[in-house]
Structure 1
């Protein structure tokens, strides 16, 4: 199935645009918490300023000899102060200035000396949202004469208008600061993070379009931060992926070739086996002695060809499930190996010649329960355990011990929620152990062979077959005293 061609998103949907919007939004959100206290403080300062203006107007009245001034001058003083009336209280007298002869009706009293932050915030927001005009009586002490109390009457509409003008100035300044800050943050983060991420994404898309092109591998760069480490790790991953793809391509080509070779080889061997059967009827003892060796070589050629073809498949072969006990499987493998001829058959098991001249010296000791029932493909597991038991005998071991341990209902099998029981089969030997090269490439096809002439497919195929049955194969230990492999398989409890 063809995958869609991916492209980088347009700028409006990119990380850059989202970063810019988020930065402006966060700065404006911070400015909201600054705006309310600023407006509340402006209201208090505005009222105090008008108290001072009213005090100055009252001083003009007090400076006259008879404390009387013309009505026009009185109205001008109050108009310049922006108030309707002012009352200055002395110890022995009270001075009054007002625009009209009739005193104005007071709608709200405000005492600027009684100050608290919550009250100032609520009063400020109330004044800012006021739609009508109220007459405020403001009581406080002017800054120029803190010992005297003064009262003024002022229209709240003037205060509301002044606060709104101040609010718009604060909003405009906040907006400028937000965009300026957002611009700095945006360009900094865009250069440090967004642009490298876009470059990284573009390189990943290019690699995805043609993963086998070596020029599409990401260049790590000199950065040592998280993005630099990500580029380095991605470059290593792409290199490993290319190596894996090249290997799978070779395996695919090998599988195709093996299919043709196997077909042609079977035809050639069919003729060879007919000729061999004729040789078996020869009266010459030396000729008859050669026949088993010829058959062994032919069977080995067919086995290697089929083994290579089987591993080259992209998916494991379908399983033919059956129920059988584990011990009968292992005992049949042991009997087959020990009954082999003295020369290597297939993978080279050591056995006894029909004439009894070369008795088998190898021992395969089995310690398995007779009630462990498996539901698996008999031939697949036969092939997997055969490889594991034959390999140490071919490497020079003369003793292979097969032991077990059981875990009951502690693990889950695949995607099923049903707990299963597992048996762990330990296969140990007294051989020379595995060479270092084989350990590093233990389950890597064509690279993990521990003997000269080996294909390195035995363990790789064994692991794949066991994994097909939801099991596991791993090397537990190896050294000059031998090696220990562990096979883990689910069984029917």
Structure 2
């Protein structure tokens, strides 16, 4: 029983804290601001209305006294008995009543005339701002003054005058102000409640939903169930919700890619250790082949040594991508044709494969670059082209399978073009062409080759791009600029 009571108390406390939080939050501020603005509007309406009420009250007294004055004036020259005068003064709430007619003034009724009058008001012509000022003064500071009020009787030339205390007027104005305040407070509460309910449904609830989704998603960003379900509608909050859901999906994909990259790095680091040992042994054996007298061995041994040396270098730098930038290029001027020939030798395209490798690079073209890094770039693209052509099934057996490697120097820039007649790239591969793990140019690839090639070219201050061409296949263009020459070095060469 005690536990049930405690649970009920906790529920009540939780509900109370939620209500307290909402009243202190944006919805509570909106409620208070709405009430304050409605009350301000009521105050702006109240000031002229209380001034109008004051004039109406004085006019009512003046009209009552005018009716009695006209009757009494018809009885002249007889004088009213004292009792009748007292009843007339009590009915009009005045101290004295006088009537002006034909230039003469007649005191119709009077009782205990005050020694002086503190203020006088002509109701025939009352300016609006003066009426508001007089009303505020009476409401805030009045009550003890003696007033003289006068005005015309209808359309005649007669004028009725009253002498009265301000106390009754102030009490009537205070009662009117209290009534207006009560009605204004009720209107402000009803208006604020309606606005609060409407804004809470249209804005506060959706915003609270967005905030809750952010908090829940932040606790476990990899959980697909925590992505915000898009809400229907075309307003700004619904649009923000859809953008938030899209951002959460993209963030999950990025986190998944980073996790895959971390797993890949761990796996490669394990393989890398054993691979370096194997390549080191192969390097020792290949060094011994140089001493063999066989002419055929002497022909391919240097190429084998260079290939194994490159493999050793790659295993030493295999973890560089994604963890650190590539090494700074060690640039020098060399003949591009020699590098292209070496790429062709390493590819070792079989004569019966049907793939024709055309090397049209002029022998005199020199490029200012890191030979090893540029080799990796050209070799990566050419190897992709060979694999694409080898896996491509042609409808026409006699169709051409060709890779064309060409280059030209334009001023201080060497442009290298690698063109193939393969199937080309899929639209998805084009969208993420140079993005690691997403821009694979062939089926089964991991998408690192072009990403590494782009990084190496950018390190040289160059560009690499896929060029549109009318026929089938792909065309990559690589541009490598020469290093800026210092003025002192140029003078030495000159």
Specify if TM > 0.5: yes
What pairs up with 1:307-322 in 2 under 5 angstroms?
308-313=318-323, 316-317=324-325
1:252 partnered with 2:262: yes
- Distance in 1 (CA, whole Å) between partners of 2:40 and 2:193 is 16
Distance 1:217 1:174, change over 3 A: same
1:118 to 129, 135, 159: 129
More helix by share: 2
Query: Residues 427 and 12 from structure 1, CA distance in 2 versus in 1: closer, same or farther, beyond 3 angstroms?
Result: farther
Relative distance call for 1:452 and 1:58 in structure 2 (3 A) is: closer
Corresponding position of 2:346:
344
Does residue 1:108 correspond to 2:107, yes or no? no
**d(CA) in 1 for partners of 2:363, 2:80:** 130
2:405 pairs with 1:398: yes
Q: Secondary structure at the match of 2:232?
A: coil
Answer whether contact 1:363 1:398 (CA < 8 A) is retained.
no
Distance in 2 (alpha carbons) for counterparts of 1:96 and 1:115: 25
Change (3 A) 1:87 1:474: farther
How many angstroms apart in 1 are the aligned matches of 2:434 and 2:321? 12
> Of the candidates 215, 218, 223, which is equivalent to residue 208 of structure 1?
218
The answer to whether 1:429 aligns with 2:417 is: yes
User: Post-superposition shift, 1:296?
Assistant: 5.5
Do residues 266 (structure 1) and 276 (structure 2) align?
Answer: yes
Change beyond 3 A, Cα 1:92–1:438: closer
Which position in structure 2 is the counterpart of 1:441? 432
C-alpha deviation, 1:136, in angstroms: 1.7
Hey, what does 1:361 align to over in structure 2?
360
Gapped regions of structure 2 (runs ≥ 5) = 1-17, 350-356, 386-402, 487-494
Decide whether aligned partners of structure 1 residues 392 and 165 sit closer, same or farther in structure 2, where only a CA change above 3 A counts.
Answer: same
Taking only aligned residues, the RMSD between alpha carbons, in angstroms, comes to: 4.1
Query: For 2:285 and 2:25, how far apart are their aligned partners in 1?
Result: 75
State how many pairs are aligned.
Answer: 438
- Counterpart CA distance in 1 for 2:336 and 2:326 is 26
Cα offset for 1:233? 1.6
Q: What SS class does the counterpart of residue 52 from structure 2 fall into?
A: helix
User: What are the within-5 Å matches in structure 2 for residues 142-291 of structure 1?
Assistant: 142=153, 148-291=158-301
How far residue 166 of structure 1 moved from its aligned partner, in angstroms, is: 1.5
TM-score, normalisation: structure 1? 0.75
Gaps of 5+ in 1: 1-7, 323-327, 350-357, 371-377, 406-424
- Separation in structure 2 between the aligned mates of residue 66 and residue 489 of structure 1, nearest angstrom: 127
Distance in 1 between the 2:358 and 2:482 partners?
A: 34
TM-score (norm 2): 0.75
- Equivalent pair of 1:337/1:390 in contact (CA under 8 Å): no
Q: For the Cα contact (< 8 Å) 1:329–1:382, is it kept in 2?
A: no
Per mean C-alpha deviation after superposition, the further-off stretch among 111-120 and 39-48 is: 111-120
Within 2, Cα distance between the matches of 1:87 and 1:430?
Answer: 117
For 2:469, which of 479, 487, 490 is the aligned residue?
A: 479
Q: Supply the distance in 2 between the matched residues of 1:217 and 1:459 (Cα, whole angstroms).
A: 33
